[in-house]
Amino acid sequence: MPAGTDLARDLAAIVGDGHVRVDEGALAAYARDATPLFTARPQAVVLPASTEEVAAVLRYATARGIPVVPRGAGSNLCAGTVPLEGGIVLVLTRLDKLLEISPEELLARAQTGVTTAALADAAAAKRLLYAPDPGSRTVSTVGGNVATCAGGLRGLKYGVTRNYVLGLEAVLPTGEIIRTGGRLWKDVAGYDLTRLLTGSEGTLAVITEATVALLPAPQDTGTGVAYFDSLADASRAVAAVIAAGIVPATLEFLDRKCITAVEEYAGLGLRGDAGALLIFGDDGSPATVSGNLARIQEVCAQTGALEVTLAENVARADALLAARRCSLPALSRLGSLTILEDATVPRHRMAEMVDRIDEIADRYGLRIATFGHAGDGNLHPTCVLDPDDADGAGRAHEAFAEIFAAAIAFDGTITGEHGVGAAKLPYLTDRLGEDQMALLRRIKRAFDPAGILNPGKLGS
Amino acid sequence: MPAGTDLARDLAAIVGDGHVRVDEGALAAYARDATPLFTARPQAVVLPASTEEVAAVLRYATARGIPVVPRGAGSNLCAGTVPLEGGIVLVLTRLDKLLEISPEELLARAQTGVTTAALADAAAAKRLLYAPDPGSRTVSTVGGNVATCAGGLRGLKYGVTRNYVLGLEAVLPTGEIIRTGGRLWKDVAGYDLTRLLTGSEGTLAVITEATVALLPAPQDTGTGVAYFDSLADASRAVAAVIAAGIVPATLEFLDRKCITAVEEYAGLGLRGDAGALLIFGDDGSPATVSGNLARIQEVCAQTGALEVTLAENVARADALLAARRCSLPALSRLGSLTILEDATVPRHRMAEMVDRIDEIADRYGLRIATFGHAGDGNLHPTCVLDPDDADGAGRAHEAFAEIFAAAIAFDGTITGEHGVGAAKLPYLTDRLGEDQMALLRRIKRAFDPAGILNPGKLGS
């Protein structure tokens, strides 16, 4: 690898002087992402302004065997953008043009660095819906959302990012610019590289532009909350809702520990005596929304809810959704280090899984609260460590290894929506088996023969 | 390659005597699929009964460099299962167990040889919907539908096969059995091999089992028909329906030539004076269906429909859908050879594209009628050749090359749902470019180092 100053000079020749950083501040900032406990310093941070500049950086890096880690907002929770082997962090936030919103074709086209919220807001202004809504959407980028196949609160009814990506422009590590898919839902010309790149976590190619499907914005939305004695009761209510033929847009849960933390943090007026809380919501025509919400209310009452309330207005609905969205900050303030995880199980095994998590947490002397997407079985067990717990991080690591093994044993997975990155790679073989791991490595080589792109992550 | 009798003996040792065929009848039958003009004889036809037998056949073939073409019902229209280089046709119809329908998890699990209709019917019996509905569904298999990413009449609202595949069991050409994905919507553990195998047309692995998502069955459905002077008018109506915020389940069209052929064939009472016909349908709650259908009726009337009628009962709705479903047989009987194609364009360019098709057909002196999925822009231009047209097939070949080039020029694709197979491979580079073609070949090698699986198709 060239010495730091040579590297900076070579990269500046591609992107211009002002867009390469090798100062201590930058190298320290880009040594980490939103994942705690993972740090590795790059040699340089480069911010290209175009697809051609991305291609030139990649050709340069491949020729010299320099690692390149593509990065959007760095909001991922799996150490997916930590430059484990140093090299270049390729920051894509200058590719920030929202290129097109087409009500006629029900699609949007954006450069990789546009935030998901900016895309969704521009669509909403034309009465269109971009359905994926990860918690990070105000900061996270379209490219990052595609690279991680981001999920969100509407997954049950609307699916996840992969269900909306129609086409991509991407640059191979060897510098070729490819365009996969296009503007059509129906297109089977070639292997499905659009979906292969979606969720590939910056290990196969650098996504520079995405075309995504939009939907007509729903006319109406509604939200409600149900309190239960236990998560087992809440889980039975979820099953009963599905059995009633309703697949609502939102079906989120908080366990007892989360309810307490959120209420102390935000004072939203949540019941303190409940063992679990379900936030449910739907969208569509006013008749559909009111019909489905009334039916969910009825089903929750029949399955033993302590209380079920429909939000009487938008402000109250927002407060309920805020209860879910602020679970993480509410828990984080209780300790010095917060580890947010992402184990996922079939929805009918959710209560069983949370019991197992609680048992594991008790055994390791850890505080782990769980919230998440009840409709998807996508759990976010969140470990909060006390500042004076010297070996807490080590115990948490062991506890989560047990939690992931339990998720797999329940026909689930080690990550529903956060990604593998460096954080989950040690558990991936348990999920996929050795033969599939070897296949991932062969696919990685088909894209990246020099192994420069995000090394130490998927495909390594 | 071993001589015929040795090959038969070796294969019989794996699957049993009764399940290897090398007789003339079998070799002739499996030399073709539903695609006209493509024929190539295999050396043997083998019908394994289990995933393990599939793996043993593949290990045997890889060790000896013998081509293997996996095949379900052989109903594909792209010569995807014609054994271009001879070898073994691996018929998967004995893997025919419907393993599971879970109302709780909203999923089904089936061996590859189960027909799509059998799966859909079993789901319907539990008030669940398997949404993909390709025209071939009564004969085509789950494995074949996954391998081709089959579409159908409900694509606009419900998407295509890839939107429903949750997990696969598949056998690599080298014999390893892998399980991709699982039972969850949200699962980002590893590259998305589930979607990569979906649409890979039997060139990467042999799919032996699929887990697919189901939806609660809609409570109600409704259907209507609108007649227009021209396809341009019909296309404006489609745009207006979408602009009104409605994404109906069904939005099919027939051009003037199809209307005439269908009416002569089936006598359904279609108007003979119309230049285009739209069949529209929706499903959902009774209020949603009646509301959306009334709105579509209004929009069609406003955009100049000659006549708009809602089907007053199920029998009439079935007759309308039959008009669409019988377009192909109605056209086929007019000639000795029927070539059904699959060019796709953004929906607002549909009329322009059909005009171009008509112009090309006239120039080549061919009869090409077009029907298809107006909501998706998925056109099925269908060429019917007279028995006495000696060089008709050659002219049709040239005409379709122009049609595919036009589709690409309109931001469309050479195949929306039928697949590439041998029939479209010559046009694939025009769609994907040389760099992406080279990447497909590298991916193919990552799965199939000996190049035995369905050679001469995708990835070749």
Residues of B in contact with A247 (CB under 8 A): 106, 215-216
Between positions 197 and 226 of B, the ones with CB within 8 A of A are: 198-200, 204, 215-217, 219
**Long-range contacts (CB closer than 8 Å, 24 or more residues apart) made by B131-139:** B131/B158, B131/B159, B131/B163, B131/B164, B131/B215, B132/B158, B132/B159, B132/B160, B132/B161, B132/B163, B132/B164, B134/B417, B135/B325, B135/B328, B136/B34, B136/B73, B136/B75, B139/B73, B139/B75, B139/B115
pLDDT, position B120: 98
Contact A412 B163 (CB under 8 A): no
Mean pLDDT of B300-311: 95
**Ranges of chain A whose pLDDT falls below 50:** none
The C-alpha of B366 sits at a distance from chain A's nearest C-alpha, in angstroms, of: 26
Neighbours of A267 (CB within 10 A): 8
**β-pair type (B44-46, B88-91):** parallel
Residues of A in contact with B446 (CB under 8 A): 439, 442-443, 445-446
Contact A190 B156 (CB under 8 A): no
The C-alpha of A247 sits at a distance from chain B's nearest C-alpha, in angstroms, of: 8
pLDDT, position B161: 97
Residues whose CB falls within 8 Å of the CB of residue B167, separated by 6 or more in sequence, listed in order: B179, B180, B181, B182, B183, B194, B210, B211
Q: CB of A252 within 8 A of CB of A324?
A: yes
pLDDT, position B4: 67
Give the Å distances, CA to CA, from A175 to A60, A219, A453.
9, 45, 12
Is the ipTM higher than 0.85? The answer is yes
Say whether residue A285 is in contact with chain B using an 8 A CB cutoff: yes
Contact A189 B376 (CB under 8 A): no
Q: Say how far residue A5 (Cα) sits from the centre of its chain.
A: 36
Residues of A in contact with B186 (CB under 8 A): 151, 155, 160, 344, 373, 376-378, 413, 416-417
Q: What is the mean pLDDT of chain B?
A: 95
Domains detected in chain A: 98-216 (3.30.465.10), 220-328 (3.30.70.3450), 329-418 (3.30.70.2740)
Say whether residue B240 is in contact with chain A using an 8 A CB cutoff: no
Contact A199 B179 (CB under 8 A): no
What stretches of A8-131 adopt beta strand conformation (E)? 20-21, 44-46, 68-71, 88-91, 98-102, 107-111, 128-129
Say whether residue A76 is in contact with chain B using an 8 A CB cutoff: no
Model confidence at B314, in pLDDT bands (50, 70, 90)? confident
Say whether residue A167 is in contact with chain B using an 8 A CB cutoff: no
The C-alpha of B271 sits at a distance from chain A's nearest C-alpha, in angstroms, of: 29
Say whether residue B59 is in contact with chain A using an 8 A CB cutoff: no
What pLDDT digit, counting tens, does each position of B413-435 carry? Answer: 999 999 999 999 999 999 999 99
Number of CB pairs < 8 Å for A and B? 250
pLDDT, position A223: 95
What pLDDT digit, counting tens, does each position of A201-216 carry? Answer: 999 999 999 999 999 9
Contact B195 A376 (CB under 8 A): no
Least confident window among B4-8, B143-147, B166-170, B208-212: B4-8
User: Taking chain B, what is the end-to-end CA distance rounded to the nearest angstrom?
Assistant: 20
| Best residue in A185, A215, A349 for a mutation probing chain B (most B CBs within 10 Å) | A185
Between positions 369 and 398 of A, the ones with CB within 8 A of B are: 373, 376-378
Any alpha helices (H) in B39-189, and if so which ranges?
51-64, 116-125, 142-148, 155-158
pLDDT, position B1: 64
The C-alpha of A430 sits at a distance from chain B's nearest C-alpha, in angstroms, of: 11
The C-alpha of B21 sits at a distance from chain A's nearest C-alpha, in angstroms, of: 32
Say whether residue A247 is in contact with chain B using an 8 A CB cutoff: yes
Flag whether pLDDT at B332 surpasses 80.
yes
Cα separation, B160 vs A152, in Å, equals 22
Say whether residue A100 is in contact with chain B using an 8 A CB cutoff: no
Flag whether pLDDT at B164 surpasses 70.
yes
Q: CB of B225 within 8 A of CB of B305?
A: no
Structure tokens at B238: 């489609």
The amino acid at B266: A
pLDDT, position A106: 96
A277 forms beta bridges with A227, A254
The C-alpha of A17 sits at a distance from chain B's nearest C-alpha, in angstroms, of: 31
Structure tokens at B378: 């998925």
Residues of B in contact with A291 (CB under 8 A): 285, 287
Residue B437's closest chain A neighbor by CA? A190
Residues of A in contact with B443 (CB under 8 A): 191, 443, 446
Say whether residue B238 is in contact with chain A using an 8 A CB cutoff: no
